[in-house]
Amino acid sequence: MIDPNELFYPAIDLLRRLIAIPSISREESATADLIADYLQENGHAPHRVANNVWAIAEGFTPGRTTILLNSHHDTVQPVEGWKGEAFHAREENGYLYGLGSNDAGASLVSLLHAFLVLASRPQPYNLIFLASAEEEVSGKNGVELALKELPPITFGVVGEPTGMRPAIGEKGLMVLDCRVAGVSGHAARNEGVNAIYEALPVIEEFRKFSFPKVSRLLGPVKLTITQIKAGTQHNVIPDCCEFVVDVRTNELYSNEEVFDLLREAIPCTIIPRSFRLNSSRIDREHPFIQRTTLLGLEPFGSPTLSDQALMPFTTVKIGPGQSTRSHTAGEYIETEEIRQAIDIYTRLLDGLKL
């Protein structure tokens, strides 16, 4: 059997190597190669589709409970503030800096090494580790593609920076493209119908709209207009005003239900880009959540989206680091957070019966 404490330094070394390899969403081939090689070096046969890599612990038994350990190895584009240092893994005073260190490299290496520990011990379940791609863009060649290749999953642990608190609920996402029509004309004359003016009261309706069901865990459905476009030149009355609405759904509505309510209530053309990314939730009485409670880890509801939204089985989001560090210049993880995460993941999952 493997001692979790023995894997701290290998985990830090692997994270350093991952940071040093650019792995922007849809460009993760090199980090996928590294993860596959690392699994093989540690005695596990890697499988791969596109840039998703997974391993199945020895002793897989069809029909038995199957637990998935998942995190992603893609990153966002480096912001300007990195000044060329995004892919330079720098360790200083117990902090490891670099793009993807917090989101979600720390979770990935912690789950991978917890997998190595758990796979070395008899477990009452099948165990799979999956390093997925395209999470930052909710791409169709990420976890959604990989799950088609995996055996049926009973329960998933999704590694994202939560300070090792279990996110027992997560808001979904729907993006709406909206359009208000007008009639073009010359701006110098009193003619036409200005689509911008027509759109103003519609935008105000979106701003004031509220859904009756408010979640105790995740709060209300949130609507935010984030982009607007109208007009072709200064002297032409615009005949079209287009805007984008970012919708964050709670677990009390499906994305389709939210769309139907908005379409009935607001007088404009509304086109959803996708219904794929629904809210998710796990019961507080679930055996995994009960174990987190015993360890003093406080559950919470997460406003941010993850690959949970694409998993058609019970999941929980939990991982080292803090969401506020993600996507920022100077992103970092405390190395001690990784040591603790490997230990906590192991304690939560070792011998777990579902």
pLDDT digits (tens, 9 = 90+) for 173-187: 999 999 999 999 999
| C-alpha torsion 120→348→306→211, nearest 10 | 160
Q: List Cβ neighbours of 318 (8 Å cut-off, separation of 6 or more).
A: 157, 158, 159, 160, 162, 164, 165, 166, 167, 292, 297
Beta-bridge mates of residue 333: 96
Contact predicate 126/56, CB 8 Å: yes
Q: Can you tell me the distance from the alpha carbon of 344 to that of 350, in angstroms, rounded to the nearest whole number?
A: 10
Contact predicate 119/58, CB 8 Å: yes
- 5: pLDDT strictly greater than 90: no
Contact predicate 16/108, CB 8 Å: no
To the nearest whole number, what is the mean pLDDT of the chain? 96
Count CB atoms within 10 A of the CB of residue 201. 10
Q: Can you tell me the distance from the alpha carbon of 104 to that of 348, in angstroms, rounded to the nearest whole number?
A: 20
pLDDT of residue 74: 98
pLDDT of residue 253: 97
Contact predicate 169/301, CB 8 Å: yes
Q: How far apart are the first and last CA of the chain?
A: 23
Over range 70-93, report the average pLDDT: 94
pLDDT digits (tens, 9 = 90+) for 256-278: 999 999 999 999 999 999 999 99
pLDDT confidence band for 3 (50 / 70 / 90): confident
pLDDT of residue 221: 97
Burial class (CB in 10 A: 0-12, 13-18, 19+), 134: buried
Q: Choose among 136, 145, 141, 131: nearest CA to 70.
A: 131
- 283: pLDDT strictly greater than 90: yes
CA angle 87, 90, 94 (to 5 degrees): 140
- 123: pLDDT strictly greater than 80: yes
pLDDT of residue 84: 84
pLDDT of residue 190: 84
pLDDT digits (tens, 9 = 90+) for 143-199: 999 999 999 999 999 999 999 999 999 999 999 999 999 999 999 998 899 999 999
* Token output for 159: 């590694």
Q: Can you tell me the distance from the alpha carbon of 209 to that of 283, in angstroms, rounded to the nearest whole number?
A: 29
